[in-house]
Structure 1
Amino acid sequence: MFEKPTATPALVAHGGNLHEAAQRYGMAWETWIDLSTGINPHGYPVPPVPATAWRRLPDDGDGFAACAARYYGAPDAQHVLPVAGSQAAIRALPALLPRTRVAIAPLTYGEYAPAFAQAGHEIAPLDVTHDALPDAIVHAVVVNPNNPTATHLDATRLLRWHAQLAARGGTLIVDEAFADAFDAPQANTLARATDRQGLVVLRSPGKFFGLAGARCGFALAQPALLGALRARLGAWTVSGPARHAVIHAFEDSAWQRTMRVRLAAESARLVALLRAHGFAPHATPLFAWVTDPRAPALQDALARHAVWTRRFDAPASLRFGLPASEDEWRRFEHALAQAMRAIG
């Protein structure tokens, strides 16, 4: 007989639920501008997928992990595990770590707290302004840059925290899902340090490369921990077509350089637009975040113009991704002006 699960996995609200918004507001899905996800709207142009990628099981001999190690700057392929989106690792990792107290920022990517709670850990709030972590903290999760607040911590502080946790037998998990979009992305990553005990870095090509639908991510850590994670997740975690797309994206350095310049310019345009309406945005190259007590009303007012954003409640705030075209920019600018007048 199978044991009945002790807890049901929590479902977390995310952006990208455009069909739900279209149904709620009674407007066709195709008419909407989706600014709710922070995914690059100018995604990598994946070359045609060979038939063998569809017909054969994914083969670890294809050099996929080694390609990711080169791109991210990890020590070698043994320190990289491809997973079905970093989400798969987020849900599986807590069960592999000793049950204790884990520090997670009150406002960050929402999957971490329920994953650790389900695995029996105690959740404590993480204050990212502290140089030293409280003695009672054994594990910590840092999303860097943070989603949605855009807070970016330097590698020196993170390595200092890691040393504190490692001395307690703990683990630091650093989620760098949005790190690729910055200029010189390897300058502040901890990928190169993942040969250290108690350090896990999660990366995703879904955001910067706009390949979220590939459901591909990477866990970077010591081989022993990755072996345990692989045993839990099972075989063939990333499909052949996804591997094909991501390898091409990682090896296309010219596209990466051009796209980082483009995203920096578009992020500056988004920040300027929000400031013109009285907001004080915090931004990464892929999204901007604003706090305002009128956030629920503003999200609703924008939705009535078929513009979908991501809302947070504590504090009341909105996250805006980048429009995909000049036509979307014009529509968004008009919708924002109309929405601001509507909410007063």
Structure 2
Amino acid sequence: MPASDAVDSGPWDAKVQQYHGGQDWAHIDNFVEDFSVTTNAFGMPESAKAAATHAIGHSHHYPPADQEPARSSLARFLWPTDAECAAEKDRLILGNGASELIDLVIRMAPAGTWKPGPFRAQYKEYERSARNNGMDLLATDTPDKANIACIVNPCNPTGDYLDLPELKRWIDANVLPGGYVVVDESMQPWHSPGFRAHSLTSQHGFVKQMLEEQGVAVFVVHSWTKLWCCTGLRLGSVVCPSADHMRAIKKAQVPWSVNVVALAFLDAVVADDAYLQKTWQMTPVWRQQTVSRIAQMFPEWECHGRDFLSWIWVDTKSEDVARRAIELARAAGVPVRSGLPGYNHPTFVRLAVREPTKVDVLLDAWRAL
């Protein structure tokens, strides 16, 4: 990220690191709530927090090299039936956040060209890794196919979303034979209680067909730190196109990259169905309430994104207004994410879905606009 793109680089080294939100909270004396990250409004689940806290007592031991039982527990969460779980588990591997796995997959990909998803902006970690690995970057709207194509779906920050038929058509149209496709579904579990049926992890025949007929390897990445509000733990996974691809990642992965605390958290959190039920029930309600209140206060602004998402991508229509909105939010202890650094959308801000009393603080601060 060029230094000129930064609103405030804070702890980031703008010459070598990709800007990301979630840093302001530690430097705000009157901190109330972090609207700059797309984590779950309900915070860290208490059952999993207890398991993680207990696991600290085992920190004098190495984590299990096979990532068990957390890996099997996550496999059961993704594929609840016995037959499906048994058939697919060997394609799954955990990582120190999704970022570690993103970088490992892109390092393994065929050399050549890289292409992002079809949206105006998306999470920048894929581009950062491709650039660092010497790939030629293609534009979003080019008809050219790439050696590796990466799509964030649902797309963070824009809120765009491709349903499965659209997603499979995009994959087929944008990757060269023998290439890689990485689909980031980190925000997909917010979809609904039926999210699995809308996820590419359910499309076993399609993934197999792409690999056997075109040599195209399809990887599905998840960052679990957003859904379960544990970004400080660093916890991600990737579903590989085959067990051989999973073993190739394991061979390149630094041993014990997922610590005992994160593994214990994951093993416990996948069983907390009540937490997910209230997430699916209340997130769209609170999101729509916030969208409606913004529309009343600022009718010229546009809010983007599907109703199930944990954030709102807001176009203020003015670079100056966006800058002032960011400054006012930070001053009130409720930082939001600027659309300028990384995404290069200077009229936009992104704010997380939060419970109404926290939204009151943010919108009260914006009355000065």
Q: TM-score, normalised by structure 2?
A: 0.80
- CA offset at residue 134 of structure 1? 2.8
Moved more, 9-18 or 107-116: 9-18
Q: 1:10 to 1:231 in 2, by over 3 A?
A: farther
3-state SS, counterpart of residue 182 of structure 2? strand
Whether 1:108 aligns to 2:122 is yes
For residue 307 of structure 1, give the secondary structure of its aligned residue in structure 2.
coil
Q: Does 1:199 align with 2:218?
A: yes
Q: For 1:145-160, what aligned pairs fall within 5 Å after superposition?
A: 145-160=154-169
Moved more, 284-293 or 168-177: 284-293
1:322 aligns with 2:334: no
Q: Deviations over 1:44-64 (max 9, x none)?
A: 212344356433322227332
Change beyond 3 A, Cα 1:245–1:9? farther
| Change in CA separation of 1:69 and 1:310 when aligned onto 2, cut-off 3 Å | same
* Cα distance change, pair 77–272 in 1 and its aligned pair in 2 (3 A): same
Question: For the residues of structure 1 that align with 2:170 and 2:331, how far apart are their CA atoms?
Answer: 45
The yes-or-no answer on 1:245 pairing with 2:259 is no
Tell me, yes or no, if structure 1 residue 125 matches structure 2 residue 139.
yes
Aligned-residue offset at 1:302: 2.5
Quote the offset at 1:31 in angstroms: 2.6
* Residues 193, 115 of structure 1: alpha-carbon distance in 2 compared, 3 angstrom cutoff: same
* Structure 1 residue 289, shift from structure 2 partner: 0.4
Decide whether the 8 Å contact of 1:295 with 1:318 is kept in 2: yes
| CA deviation string 1:182-210 (max 9, x = no partner) | 21211221113365331000012211111
Please show how residues 203-282 of structure 1 align to structure 2 within 5 Å.
203-221=222-240, 222-276=242-296, 277-278=298-299, 279-282=301-304
1:288 alignment partner, one of 281, 303, 312: 312
CA distance, structure 2, for counterparts of residue 307 and residue 164 of structure 1: 42
What's the CA shift string for 1:110-142, capped at 9, x where partnerless? Answer: 111121011111111224xxxxx8344232111
Paired amino acid for 1:199: V
Whether 1:185 and 2:187 are equivalent positions in the alignment is: no
Matched, 1:301 2:328: yes
* 8 Å CA contact retained: 2:302, 2:314: yes
Structure-2 residue corresponding to 1:5: none
CA contact (8 A) 2:338 2:349 kept: yes
- Structure 2 partner of 1:93: 105
Letter in 1 for 2:154: P
- Contact 1:165–1:171 (Cα < 8 Å) also in 2: no
CA contact (8 A) 2:110 2:148 kept: no
**For 1:63 and 1:165, how far apart are their aligned partners in 2?**
37
1:54 maps to amino acid: S
Structure 2 stretches of 5 or more lacking a match? 1-13, 80-84, 212-216
Indicate how the Cα distance of structure 1 residues 239 and 9 shifts in structure 2: closer, same or farther if over 3 A, else same: farther
- Listed as ranges, the gaps of 5+ residues in structure 1 are 1-7, 128-132
The letter of the residue matching 2:139 is P
Superposed CA deviations along residues 263-320 of structure 1, whole A, max 9, x for unmatched, are 1211111211222222221135310001222322321233232321111123221000
SS in 1 for 2:59: helix
Residue 100 of structure 1 contacts residue 138 of structure 1 at CA under 8 Å; is this kept in 2?
yes
Alignment correspondent of 1:18: 24
Q: Equivalents in 1 of 2:67, 2:179: separation in Å? A: 33
Q: Could you say what secondary structure the match of 2:224 adopts?
A: coil
Structure 2 counterpart of 1:34, one-letter code: D
Report the AA paired with residue 77 of structure 2.
Answer: Y
Q: Cα distance, 1:40 vs. partner?
A: 1.1
Distance in 2, matches of 1:61 and 1:208, equals 20
Between 1:268-277 and 1:111-120, the stretch displaced more is 268-277
Query: Judging changes above 3 Å, is the alpha-carbon distance between structure 1 residues 92 and 61 closer, same or farther for their aligned structure 2 residues?
Result: closer
Structure 1 SS opposite 2:270: helix
2:33 — aligned with what? 33
Q: Is the 8 A contact 1:16 1:34 kept in 2?
A: yes
Q: CA deviation at 1:41?
A: 3.1
Task: Name the counterpart of 1:130.
Answer: none
Report the Cα distance in structure 2 between the residues aligned to 1:67 and 1:236, rounded to whole angstroms: 18
What is the DSSP-based 3-state SS (H/G/I as helix, E as strand, rest coil) of the residue aligned with 2:150?
Answer: strand
Which stretch has the larger CA shift, 157-166 or 11-20? Answer: 157-166
Question: Could you tell me how far apart the structure 2 residues matched to 1:334 and 1:19 are?
Answer: 19
> Could you say which residue in structure 1 is the equivalent of 2:54?
50
Distance change (3 Å), C-alpha of 1:172 and 1:256: same
Change (3 A) 1:330 1:167: closer
Aligned partner letter, 1:174: V
In the alignment, is residue 134 of structure 1 matched against residue 143 of structure 2?
Answer: yes
The alpha carbon displacement at 1:153 in A equals 0.6
Please identify, of 163-172 and 94-103, the stretch whose mean Cα deviation from structure 2 is larger.
163-172
Question: Counterparts of 2:74 and 2:256 in 1: how far apart (Å)?
Answer: 16
Specify the alignment match of 2:69 in structure 1: 63
Separation of aligned partners in 2, 1:304 and 1:146: 29
Residue of structure 2 equivalent to 1:144? 153
2:363 aligned residue: 333
Answer whether contact 2:159 2:309 (CA < 8 A) is retained.
Answer: no
